[in-house]
Amino acid sequence: MRKRWIAAAAGVAAAATFGLSGCSSSGTSGTSGSTQGPASGPVSLTFWGWAPGYQQSVALWNKSHPDIQIDWETVAPGSKGGYTKMLTAVKAGNAPCLAQVGYETLPSFAAAGALQDVTQYASPDQGQFAAWTWNQVTIEGKTYGIPVDAAPMALLYNKTLFAKYGITAPPATWAEYSADAAKIHQADPKVYIGYFGNDAYNYAGLDWQDNAPWFTTPNSSWRLGFTSSAGEQVASYWQGLVSRHLLSTDQSYSPSLYKDMAAGRILSDVNAVWDAPLLASSVGKSQSGQWAVAPMPVWNASAPAYGNDGGSATAVLNGCKDPQQATEFADWMSTDSGSVTNLIDVTGIYPAATSGLSNPALSAPNAYYGNQVVYDVFKAEMPQINTSWLWGPTMTQVSTDLGNDLGSVETGSQTVAGMLGDVQSKTAAQLTQQGISVSGG
């Protein structure tokens, strides 16, 4: 087990360069779910996922591919039960063929034997994708699906309300962000520049930006870096804002968060590209035209670096009877112009397919964001995103523990540094329990 994980990590890390977020055994005729030979006649493949917009891409495919039909089923987001449902279904032998799986979780699925090797069907498609994203779906030389997107982060902010509080330009650095946070809150103690939140992967993006990796693999062992010196810089910064009560305590993606944004009590969100349509639909039409997108604040303006928060694959789960057809659909969903346009417009993806980078939807003005071409911001950031970030083999446990502890930081019962120390200890224990060599815990 240890050697498998080290090899997987090395394969991903060595090739990482940014070119730059199924089958059911229901018993019905033509439905795929066993490991027998390919079905004759029309094929029906079930696809589990949660992202808005995926269903529309499925509908586009079904209109033009009568011999391979995709049955979309919405499940809870992965960290909120979707991944558990997928793994349980694989174990029970009734999993879908296709599943939305985040890059951070795909290695854990592979180790659990939940993914089907589709290398022979996927390999011809490799050249269509940014190298970094392809390596997110390939472990030890085996490819388990097709990449969909990357997820560069930026600052989404209410420019109208920033101006009201004397903020004439969005903060370009974290020092400016802190100063603006104090200025806004001093003008009105009920108003905040942003919120701390409890999203583990959003916090990962903050560490990613500052080159503070959680996992590295020196000397054939996993080394944990939650409490690294770079990580301490990030933790100290956000602890300072929390301790000074300059951030709202709303939880990430909660109804109260968007209610406070709509009421003008929270003025910005440091988040991934896919948050742009989510924020627009959640805050509502009353603020259309008031919001804008700016680069993520950086630590060093003379050497800017940015974070990544997410990115998903369309994975083929173990037990799929029609892996060739499943891979064909997955590739189409990520590369077809109509599908990519839909995913940009509705899901807010930054395409993993290199052809997608010239999709006209990326150049379209966004009315909610004052007719700004918001993807120009993300395009400019991409060359300054570190590609060496490595996800560890227990990310389901990490995201759960970190999410819980982030909530404790919000309430004041935990510090950010204490939270990271706690997560590191729990992660070390989990790795040890699985027989994986670990240091730094």
- DSSP-assigned letters across all residues of 183-227: HHHHH-TT-BS-B----HHHHHHHHHHTT--SEE-GGGSEEE-TT
Residue 303 sits in the same domain as residue 282: yes
Residue 188: the pLDDT is: 98
In a domain, 237, yes or no: yes
Give the pLDDT band (50/70/90) at residue 1: very low
Residues 113-119: what's their mean pLDDT?
97
Q: Which residue has the higher pLDDT, 85 or 79?
A: 85
CATH assignment of the domain containing 53:
3.40.190.10
Query: To which residue do tokens 């993606």 refer?
Result: 253
In the chain, the number of structural domains is: 2
Asked if residue 2 has pLDDT above 70, the reply is no
Q: Give the range among 158-162, 320-324, 428-432 with minimum mean pLDDT.
A: 428-432
Residue 347: the pLDDT is: 95
Read off the pLDDT of residues 36-48 as tens digits, 9 standing for 90 and up. Answer: 344 456 899 999 9
Give the pLDDT band (50/70/90) at residue 387: confident
Phi, then psi, of 369 in degrees rounded to 5: -100, 45
Residue 262 sits in the same domain as residue 411: yes
In a domain, 144, yes or no: yes
Give the pLDDT band (50/70/90) at residue 99: very high
The H or E element spanning position 147 is: strand 145-147
Residue 166 sits in the same domain as residue 291: yes
Asked if residue 23 has pLDDT above 50, the reply is no
d(CA 341, CA 364): 11
Residue 10 sits in the same domain as residue 144: yes
Residue 269 sits in the same domain as residue 335: no
Residue 298: the pLDDT is: 98
Read off the pLDDT of residues 141-185 as tens digits, 9 standing for 90 and up. Answer: 999 999 999 999 999 999 999 999 999 999 999 999 999 999 999
Query: To which residue do tokens 């395409």 refer?
Result: 351
Residue 271 sits in the same domain as residue 397: yes
Residue 333: the pLDDT is: 98
Residue 253: the pLDDT is: 94
In a domain, 322, yes or no: yes
Domain span at 434: 153-307+389-439
Residue 275 sits in the same domain as residue 160: yes
Residues 84-95: what's their mean pLDDT?
97
Asked if residue 9 has pLDDT above 80, the reply is no
Q: Give the range among 17-21, 95-99, 356-360, 385-389 with minimum mean pLDDT.
A: 17-21
**Mode of pairing for the β-strands spanning 43-49 and 98-102:** parallel
Residue 297: the pLDDT is: 98
Residue 161 sits in the same domain as residue 135: no
Asked if residue 128 has pLDDT above 80, the reply is yes
Q: Which residues pair with 44 in a beta bridge?
A: 31, 69
Read off the pLDDT of residues 234-260 as tens digits, 9 standing for 90 and up. Answer: 999 999 999 999 999 999 999 999 999
Asked if residue 323 has pLDDT above 90, the reply is yes
Q: What percent of the chain has pLDDT over 70?
A: 90
Return the closest-CA partner of residue 398 out of 420, 373, 383: 420
Residue 42 sits in the same domain as residue 170: no
In a domain, 55, yes or no: yes
Return the closest-CA partner of residue 104 out of 197, 199, 20: 199
In a domain, 365, yes or no: no
Residue 142 sits in the same domain as residue 183: no
Phi, then psi, of 43 in degrees rounded to 5: -115, 135
In a domain, 164, yes or no: yes
d(CA 253, CA 248): 13
In a domain, 326, yes or no: yes
d(CA 152, CA 221): 29
The H or E element spanning position 314 is: strand 312-316
Q: Judging by beta carbons within 10 Å of its beta carbon (0-12, 13-18, 19+), is residue 434 exposed, middle or buried?
A: middle
d(CA 111, CA 114): 8
Residue 12 sits in the same domain as residue 49: yes
Q: Which residue has the higher pLDDT, 290 or 41?
A: 290
Residue 173 sits in the same domain as residue 271: yes
In a domain, 376, yes or no: no
Q: What percent of the chain has pLDDT over 90?
A: 79
CB within 8 Å of 372: residues ≥ 6 apart: 292, 293, 365, 366
Q: Judging by beta carbons within 10 Å of its beta carbon (0-12, 13-18, 19+), is residue 146 exposed, middle or buried?
A: buried
Q: Which residues pair with 313 in a beta bridge?
A: 101, 147
